[in-house]
A and B are shown apart, each in its own frame.
Chain A
Amino acid sequence: MRPGRKIGLVLLAMSLLLAACGGGKSSEKAGESTNGSEKVKLTIWHNFAGDDLRAKAVRSYIDQFAQDHPEVTLDAQAIPPDGYRQRLSTVAAANEMPDVFFVYAGSQSSELHQAKLLQPITEVLDAHPEWKEKFLPGAFDPFEFEEGQIYSAPLGMSATSILYYNKALFEKHNVKVPTTWDEMMTAIKTFNDNGITPIALGNKAPWVAQSTILGSLADRVTGTEWFKNAAAQQGAKFTDPEFIEALGYFKQLVDNKAFQEGANSIDNTQAEQYFIQGNAAMMISGAWTLTNLAASSTEEQMKDIEVTTLPAIPGGKGEANTISGGAGGGLALSSRTEGKAKELALELIYTVSGPEAQKSIAESNSMVMYDAEIDQSKVTSLYYKAYNLVKSTGITPVYDAYLSAEAAEVINNGLQEIMMGGSVEDVAKKLQDAQARSATP
């Protein structure tokens, strides 16, 4: 009997002890300010971990900061993008944010802001007006959580609905590059008749169809105004006829077999390769495709590829010559970083997202939300075409940047459902329900 009781008591004591530990809040601060000669500790987390030019460019500016500031012990962590959200969410749960960290535009940064884990970086922007002014219109929209307070400066632009097309295939089959919906339908039919996939799509990660196709398509039908109201759940609903009509156009693409079979089970990279190898005539994709193709295909393959915008929709309320897009993610500052550490953290943010960095990122075949003069010789020809296209067109919102995380998930899955034969009305209703839930907590 005695050992048994002893075991029980020890266990009880242990669990109580641990529970007590867990309940208490840590009062430790990450970026403790130090006086005088002592070194300041700074941590930065980002997901520019790969071998691509953009990641290398960003990392080089972090290294440069470390070199320029010997008084700082910089702990820079490149976290695999696959695990980045999970990692950040876990440390957020324990209130252990690093001083500076990369945040995505949209629900992630706004959730972190609501949880009071961020502080504005407005002062560093105001300190460098020549930098702030060169950001493109709307660059700070996703990060201006309060009037006049900006929480991040975007490191990139997500132009999400560029229509890439293979000029050689269009010429060979004597098809006109579509500028109207009817021409699009004709093109789809002709290519299908000739055994060529009209549009390559890799929608295994289900945000792809939403981000690249629906956003732009719907905007042409409903107009931007309507979408912003519907997202805010003020005076418009996703069950409105406009939106049903917009989803209907997407369904038309599906019904006319615009996408290759099994588009829902192949990833974006595979779809890009399918397209660049000439198996498909078009691909609707974001600027990231430029970066990916620059890394994995030859100039030879790319010379046939041209870029344009999606065709106009008859009677649509939105403007035609637009691309959906907006600010990409940027670096944010932890609300717990203060004093000297904060000063240096802001300096770090400036180094990594400042004018020089923006130019380098743009020259790594990756779009920026910044008016950078790029050197044409440093980028691929396709990127340069797209860069000029995006400069000349209007920008409309990307759906998931305005929807709640849950509603974005619903519309992503909904588009897959439509591709599997689901009904447009059901999807619209589910989206409306989800967005209504998060708009009225």
Chain B
Amino acid sequence: MPTAMRSKGFIAIALLPALLLFLIFVIIPVFWSAYYGFFSWKGFGEATFIGLDNYKEMFKDPIFWRALRNNLILVVSSIIGQVPIALVLAIVLFKNSLFSRFIRSAVFMPMVLSTVVVGLIWGYIYHPQFGIANHVLEMLGLESWTRAWLSDPKVNMLAISIPINWANVGPYLVIFIAALQNISPEIHDAAKIDGSSGWNKLRNITLPMIWSTVVVTIVLCISGSLKAFDHVIVMTGGGPAQSTELLATYMYNSTFSVYRYGYGSAVSTMIMIVSAILIAINYFATRRKSS
């Protein structure tokens, strides 16, 4: 039997490498960058300490609030879109038949493609002149619904959230499948004997068993949506007139296009603060539900 001493040794050797690597390459740079957030700095040359001025400016900038709102749209759409779709697909496709393997692989494919390809193809789907979306609407006799999906500020954020959700279902599906496998067959058998099936089984047996995974996927949705960057850069670059700006694209432009490194660092710190708040809310909300 392992002694207490040996457990301590195991803990140290098993945890320390991961912790050290993480501290050095993630945490230190993050604090370092947060520190730049208190400076007026172009990224090179002289830096001037300006205290909280970057943050004050950020709160006054309507673009910051618009970016935050757009991010929240993505958060909500991913939680009500990706998670349920992935869960349902995982349950339906849990069987190891050729058919479900094929569908599973297909659902994952958008994730395998680089965001540039995904962005390009959806750019074509939404293309104002040759786009499939408008073409389909015309065939359905809905000419009045056709529009320039990515440049009309009334709909473009919604239009963007569809491909983002569509591309990201795959990983959640895989995560849920892995979690579902961990439910031992006896539990399924027991459920069968009890006569639980369908919705009841899902609610009473499956969901509680994989609840910790559901919580993790929601956390991933929140953090992923707040960091979202690539798809938007490819599809709209945050435009037109910054109507699809996200916090990450806003930060990137401030840092590398407008040469305001200090301000960009402050925005980036704010992204972390906002996601931390949302994740804390999620933590308390899901804890109450599960107990």
Asked if A and B bind, the verdict is: yes
Closest to B261 in A: A93
How many pairs, one residue from A and one from B, have CB atoms within 8 Å of each other in the complex?
127
Cβ of B193 < 8 Å from any Cβ of A? no
Give every chain A residue within 8 A of B151 (Cβ-Cβ): 262-265, 420
With A3-B12, A93-B44 already in contact, the answer to whether A204 and B261 are too (CB < 8 A) is no
Inter-chain CA distance A203–B237, complex, in Å, is: 11
Inter-chain CA distance A260–B148, complex, in Å, is: 10
Which of B69-77, B86-94, B122-130, B161-169 is the contact stretch? B122-130
Inter-chain CA distance A261–B16, complex, in Å, is: 58
Q: Which of A19, A205, A422 contacts B28 (CB 8 A)?
A: A19
Q: Which of A6, A19, A92, A414 contacts B12 (CB 8 A)?
A: A6
Closest to A419 in B: B240
With A2-B8, A93-B43 already in contact, the answer to whether A261 and B240 are too (CB < 8 A) is no
Q: Which of A18, A115, A405, A416 contacts B257 (CB 8 A)?
A: A405
Inter-chain CA distance A11–B236, complex, in Å, is: 43
Inter-chain CA distance A209–B242, complex, in Å, is: 15
Dominant secondary structure at the B interface: loop
Residue-by-residue, is B192-233 near A (CB-CB < 8 Å gives 1, otherwise 0)?
000000000000000000000000000000000000000000
Residue-by-residue, is A312-347 near B (CB-CB < 8 Å gives 1, otherwise 0)?
000000000000000000000000000000000000
With A93-B43, A405-B258 already in contact, the answer to whether A266 and B127 are too (CB < 8 A) is yes
What's the least CB distance linking B80 to chain A, in Å?
26
Give every chain A residue within 8 A of B153 (Cβ-Cβ): 420
Inter-chain CA distance A203–B128, complex, in Å, is: 13
Give every chain A residue within 8 A of B284 (Cβ-Cβ): none
Contact between B32 and A265 (Cβ–Cβ < 8 Å)? no
Cβ of A127 < 8 Å from any Cβ of B? no
Which residues of chain A from 89 to 140 have a CB within 8 Å of any chain B CB?
89-90, 92-93, 95, 107, 111-112, 114-117
Chain A interface category by residue count: 35 or more
Cβ of A240 < 8 Å from any Cβ of B? no
With A89-B44, A112-B44 already in contact, the answer to whether A265 and B126 are too (CB < 8 A) is yes
Which of B17-25, B181-189, B273-281 is the contact stretch? B17-25
Give every chain B residue within 8 A of A10 (Cβ-Cβ): 16, 20
Contact between B32 and A22 (Cβ–Cβ < 8 Å)? yes
Give every chain B residue within 8 A of A409 (Cβ-Cβ): 253, 257-258
With A265-B151, A266-B128, A420-B153 already in contact, the answer to whether A11 and B239 are too (CB < 8 A) is no
Contact between A95 and B44 (Cβ–Cβ < 8 Å)? yes
Cβ of A14 < 8 Å from any Cβ of B? yes
Closest to B245 in A: A413
Cβ of A37 < 8 Å from any Cβ of B? no
Cβ of A29 < 8 Å from any Cβ of B? no
Cβ of A198 < 8 Å from any Cβ of B? no
Contact between A260 and B129 (Cβ–Cβ < 8 Å)? yes
Residue-by-residue, is A188-221 near B (CB-CB < 8 Å gives 1, otherwise 0)?
0000000000000001111000000000000000
Closest to A206 in B: B239
Cβ of B190 < 8 Å from any Cβ of A? no
Inter-chain CA distance A2–B12, complex, in Å, is: 11
Closest to A409 in B: B258
Q: Which of A3, A86, A107, A419 contacts B8 (CB 8 A)?
A: A3
Inter-chain CA distance A260–B127, complex, in Å, is: 11
Inter-chain CA distance A103–B149, complex, in Å, is: 36
Inter-chain CA distance A265–B156, complex, in Å, is: 10
What's the least CB distance linking B155 to chain A, in Å?
11
Contact between A204 and B128 (Cβ–Cβ < 8 Å)? no
Give every chain B residue within 8 A of A391 (Cβ-Cβ): none
Contact between A89 and B43 (Cβ–Cβ < 8 Å)? yes
Cβ of A85 < 8 Å from any Cβ of B? yes
Give every chain B residue within 8 A of A114 (Cβ-Cβ): 45
Contact between B242 and A18 (Cβ–Cβ < 8 Å)? no
Give every chain A residue within 8 A of B15 (Cβ-Cβ): 7
Cβ of B11 < 8 Å from any Cβ of A? yes
Contact between B241 and A265 (Cβ–Cβ < 8 Å)? no
With A92-B43, A266-B127, A409-B253 already in contact, the answer to whether A14 and B23 are too (CB < 8 A) is yes
Inter-chain CA distance A47–B258, complex, in Å, is: 20
Contact between A115 and B42 (Cβ–Cβ < 8 Å)? yes
Give every chain B residue within 8 A of A266 (Cβ-Cβ): 123, 127-128
Contact between A420 and B240 (Cβ–Cβ < 8 Å)? yes
What's the least CB distance linking A225 to chain B, in Å?
28
Cβ of B118 < 8 Å from any Cβ of A? no
Inter-chain CA distance A107–B147, complex, in Å, is: 36
Inter-chain CA distance A222–B70, complex, in Å, is: 38
Contact between A111 and B259 (Cβ–Cβ < 8 Å)? yes
Closest to A434 in B: B258
Give every chain B residue within 8 A of A11 (Cβ-Cβ): 19-20, 23
> Could you name 6 residue pairs across A and B whose Cβ atoms are closer than 8 Å?
A86-B256, A111-B42, A111-B44, A117-B45, A261-B148, A265-B126
Given contacts A10-B20, A205-B237, A405-B257, 8 further A-B contacts (CB under 8 A): A7-B15, A89-B255, A93-B261, A115-B44, A262-B151, A264-B241, A265-B126, A409-B258
- Going nearest first, the 3 A-B pairs with the smallest beta carbon separation are A262-B128, A262-B148, A115-B45
